[in-house]
Amino acid sequence: MKTRLITLLVLWTACLWLVPSASAQLRWRVSVKFILSSGGNRPSTGIINTDEEVQTQIDNANEFLRSYGRGYQFQLTEIVDLSGVSQWYGSDRDEKAALEAAAEADKTKYAYRDNAINIYINGNPGSAICSFPPGDDIIFMGQGSRSTSVFHESGHYFNLSHTFNGETELNSNGTVCTNGCSCAQIIGGNSDGVTDTIADHTCWDTQNLISQGNFAVNYSSLSAANQLRVDNIHFNIMSYHDTRERLTSDQLDRATDASNGDRFKAASGRTRFVATTGDDVFGTGSSGSRFRTVARGVTVANSGDIVLLRSGSYDEAITITKPVTLRATRGNAIVGL
């Protein structure tokens, strides 16, 4: 009976991978700080200057995450009006490192949290910035940010690069061009560190341009599979395109590895990866070094963790005696003899 229950659980969570209402087990804590002006006020205009605008960005990010059924969610723990530091109210995003140093030197004054993603919002008209792990770990946002910037910058926090990372512009003779999208050669970048994304460029603002840059044909001429690859770039959270509402499976894996590692302080638990091609002896449970059996994943997992199974059949009978969640990704997983 216990084996049967486990089988049903995994099949059920595999179905949740397709259902937007999937509940979450692992939460990424977020602490938001509004840097007030010398007069004690938040910005009066801009993209993110009210509690409601912050909550909406968190809610929208969570809606996207739920659609993947991995059990992840952002948890907004607080919104703080930060007075006494108005010298940063108009600061440009390039001053992020200095702001972070000040915040870490006086955590009480800056409401800096050691267990959360720290987002500082000021009145500068510029956009947002975040650095990659393991170093700098605050997000600094101005009022020129986008409605998806919390999710986008959190992607950087969890080690996701821009989809266009490595892009170049050249003159017709192959020399470096500085005329932006007017350059003779627009070469997409594909150095984002994941294998299931194709090249992207900030000048490729339509599906046709992405398709032409990667496949030398218009979008309408592509197979359904390659149209999906184009769409995964054109609508990617980590792009600079107008609509940003998705991540690829490999991007989610990369972010999960960062959450398990250098960015664990902001997470409520870890994810242990399991695959039928994994290895219980040498595997570490990361996305690139998966365990072979569900039993090994459950043994290593702590209470509250997620054991994430790649698709396949796991011919094993196990008894689970701790509160962990089994979920399936990239297809159905069946556990049982």
Tell me if the pTM is above 0.95.
no
Residue pair 117/31 in contact (Cβ under 8 Å)? The answer is yes
Distance, in Å, from the CA atom of 283 to the CA atom of 272, rounded to the nearest integer, reads: 10
What is the reported pLDDT for 328? 93
What is the reported pLDDT for 23? 61
Indicate the pairing of strand 168-170 with strand 185-187. antiparallel
Distance, in Å, from the CA atom of 31 to the CA atom of 114, rounded to the nearest integer, reads: 10
What is the reported pLDDT for 272? 97
Peptide bond before 323: cis, by omega within 30 degrees of 0? no
- Strand segments, DSSP code E, in the chain are 26-35, 72-82, 117-121, 128-130, 138-141, 168-170, 185-187, 271-274, 306-314, 325-335
DSSP characters for 48-78? S-SHHHHHHHHHHHHHHHHTTTS-EEEEEEE
Residue pair 137/157 in contact (Cβ under 8 Å)? The answer is yes
Q: What is the pLDDT of residues 27-54, one digit of tens each?
A: 999 999 999 999 999 999 999 999 999 9
Burial status of residue 124 (CB atoms within 10 A of its CB: 0-12, 13-18, 19 or more): buried
Distance, in Å, from the CA atom of 262 to the CA atom of 259, rounded to the nearest integer, reads: 7
Domain ranges of the chain: 20-157, 168-234
Q: What is the pLDDT of residues 274-290, one digit of tens each?
A: 999 999 999 999 999 99
Level-2 CATH architecture, domain 20-157: 3-Layer(aba) Sandwich (3.40)
What is the reported pLDDT for 135? 82
Angle formed by the axes of helices 149-157 and 51-66, nearest 10°? 60
pLDDT (tens digit, 0 to 9) for every residue of the chain, 337 residues total?
A: 333 334 334 433 333 222 223 466 899 999 999 999 999 999 999 999 999 999 999 999 999 999 999 999 999 999 999 999 999 999 999 999 999 999 999 999 999 999 999 999 999 999 999 999 998 889 999 999 999 999 999 999 999 999 999 999 999 999 999 999 999 999 999 999 999 999 999 999 999 999 999 999 999 999 999 999 999 999 999 999 999 999 999 999 999 999 999 999 999 999 999 999 999 999 999 999 999 999 999 999 999 999 999 999 999 988 899 999 999 999 999 998 7
Residue pair 154/138 in contact (Cβ under 8 Å)? The answer is no
